[in-house]
Amino acid sequence: MGVIELDGLQVRLGGKPVLNGLTGQLRGNAIGLLGPNGAGKSTLINTLLGFHTPCAGAARVFGLDSRSERVQIRERIGYMPENDSFIGNMSGVRFVRYMAELAGLPPAVALEHAHEALFFVGLGEVRYRKISTYSLGMKQLIKLAQALAHGPRLLILDEPTNGLDPMARQRMIHTLREIRKTGSIRLLISSHLLRDIDEICDEVLILKQGRIAAISNIEQERRSHRNFIEIETTGETATFCDALRALGCECASFRGGRLKLVMPDSIDVRELYVAAGEHGVEIRGIHRRRDSLEDIFLRAMDMDPARGEFVRI
């Protein structure tokens, strides 16, 4: 069973189609939701939460239908919205405890978890302060703490690094990676920042104009390009290329002494230097190339999902 299953999902808001027949299954531990503004990322999240009702098709979270089983879904998720959303008049710990109790934790357990969650996200020292006095970064973290406090199975984060300075952003990314490492909580992160998704997620869903432009397993992508190497050399490359082929590499040479190789797993980079030395070639630089998330995203943006084109990797 996938974390999220979309089956011809259509959502109309104010009479306009916003999500248009999304179909796919997401199984990753950390799923990134990418797309330009207005692509339908937040609408998809709100549909999963049961805030919007699909006009056709279905969306399922852990096999539960977002239309008919929204209460059960909400019991299993923690949600961190994009915009400010808190009760400024409450202290941090009281707010997080309140939300944990609403999620179903008994009062004493909720209080214990509230303290834990606040320490976990780094707000332990300010947990008795009113939320209205928090900085922007702290307000982002309190939203994360309340989403975590009841120990959800899926954490939905809408633009978690929005408005954070570089230090705070790095801390947020670190925290999310820590959560991912535990393995018991899945993440769904919506962002327009490729770098954030690249650093945290192992699967990505790219939306464009309310349709799926790409579904990609970034982890697999990374693994498949592990041995794709570009080399800058000086000297005669023809015999060097032959030697590399003899070692089992696929090799293509370009002008300016540039070579592109796909190395088998059995070969170590050191052997390239040995072969280069034997054929009088100097290696001036080696670049391990990987198909970055940016490449995937740009390819997806070139597609026209309305005509059924999309990238599946």
Query: Which residues of this chain interact with other proteins, rule CB under 8 A?
Result: 13-16, 46, 49, 51-52, 71-72, 74-75, 77, 79, 81, 83-89, 98-99, 101-106, 109, 112-113, 115-117, 119-120, 124, 131-132, 143, 146, 148, 150-153, 178-179, 182, 184-185
Q: How far is the CB of 93 from other proteins (least distance, A)?
A: 10
Determine phi and psi for 256, rounding to 5 degrees.
Answer: 80, 15
Which C-beta is closer to other proteins: that of 147 or that of 263?
147
The structure tokens listed for 2 are 């996938």
> Two tokens at 297?
């995203």
Specify the residue, 29 or 216, whose C-beta has the smaller distance to other proteins. 29
Are the C-beta atoms of residues 7 and 58 closer than 8 Å to each other? yes
- Nearest CB to other proteins, comparing residues 116 and 271: 116
**Cα-based distances in Å from 80 to 74, 75, 279:** 13, 14, 59
From CA 153, how far away is CA 234, in angstroms rounded? 55
Angle between helices 92-103 and 136-148 (to 10 degrees): 30
Cα dist from 303 to 33, 92, 237, whole Å: 17, 45, 38
Quote the CA–CA distance of 163 and 134 in Å, as a whole number.
Answer: 14
| Choice between 58 and 90, CB closer to other proteins | 90
Query: How far is the C-alpha of 113 from the C-alpha of 119, rounded, in Å?
Result: 10
Nearest distance in Å: CB 223, other proteins: 27
13 versus 55: smaller Cβ distance to other proteins = 13
CB nearer other proteins, residue 140 or residue 233:
140
Q: How far is the CB of 9 from other proteins (least distance, A)?
A: 17
CB of 154 to other proteins, least distance (A): 9
Residue 288 — φ and ψ, nearest 5°?
-80, 120
Least distance (Å) between residue 133 CB and other proteins: 12
Residue 214: phi and psi, rounded to 5, are -165, 145
> Residue 74: what are its φ and ψ, rounded to 5°?
-65, -25
Angle between helices 136-148 and 107-121 (to 10 degrees): 140
Nearer to other proteins, 101 or 196 (CB): 101
Q: Which of 246, 305, 234 is nearest to 275 (CA)?
A: 246
CB of 299 vs other proteins, minimal distance in Å: 32
Min separation Cβ 14 and other proteins, Å? 4
Give me the least distance between CB of 158 and other proteins, in Å please: 9
Rank residues 72 and 239 by Cβ distance to other proteins and give the closer one: 72
